[in-house]
Copies of this chain bind each other. A is one copy, B any other.
Amino acid sequence: MRGYDAVDRSLLTALAADPRATVVALADRLELSRNTVQARMSRLEASGAFLSFERSIDPVPLGFPLEAFISVHVQQKRLADVVDEIAEIPEVIQAHGLSGSVDLLVRVVCRDAHDLFRIDRDILAIDGVERTETSLAMGELIPFRLRPLLDRRG
């Protein structure tokens, strides 16, 4: 299933406003019948509209107040191995392969600056890694959001 209609989008929006809303509550708010909401929800679920719930957990109260992005330059041929090794570091919470001069954008959280230093060192020590550049995230200036996208006509 690709592309959602207005009903799907408003369902997602309503869910964003209240993630644990019941089907009945959603039906009420959207002025749809309970059956419709139930059917839509199963379809959304089945179509893979939802990512892991882990994305909705805040690392800060877990004790990781610092976030950083580490740009990694890699010997291309060893990219897969490098990724495997980076994945072993628990503080790495995400990594994207990029086009362009930087090969890998690694997102990490840590307890303090010392922690970050260590993680960077660990990545540099990996065979195939040529260079890294660490940027401390000073804040999420635009917090993750999909609403503007959801609110537009599809």
* Chain A positions 113 through 154: 1 when the CB is less than 8 Å from some CB of chain B, otherwise 0: 000000000000000000001111111111111111111101
Of the residues B53, B93, B133, B140, contact of A94 by C-beta under 8 Å? B140
Of the residues B69, B86, B100, contact of A136 by C-beta under 8 Å? B100
Judge whether A27 is part of the interface by a CB distance below 8 angstroms: no
Interface pair A138/B99, CB less than 8 Å apart:
yes
Q: How many residues of A contact B (CB 8 A)?
A: 70
> Given A87-B142, A95-B140, A135-B102, does the pair A58, B48 have CB atoms closer than 8 Å?
yes
* Chain B residue contacts of A69, Cβ below 8 A: 96, 98, 105
> Given A95-B141, A96-B140, does the pair A146, B61 have CB atoms closer than 8 Å?
no
Report which A residues bind B (CB closer than 8 A): 1-4, 9, 12, 15-16, 19-20, 47-59, 61-64, 67, 69, 83, 86-87, 89-100, 102, 104-106, 109, 133-152, 154
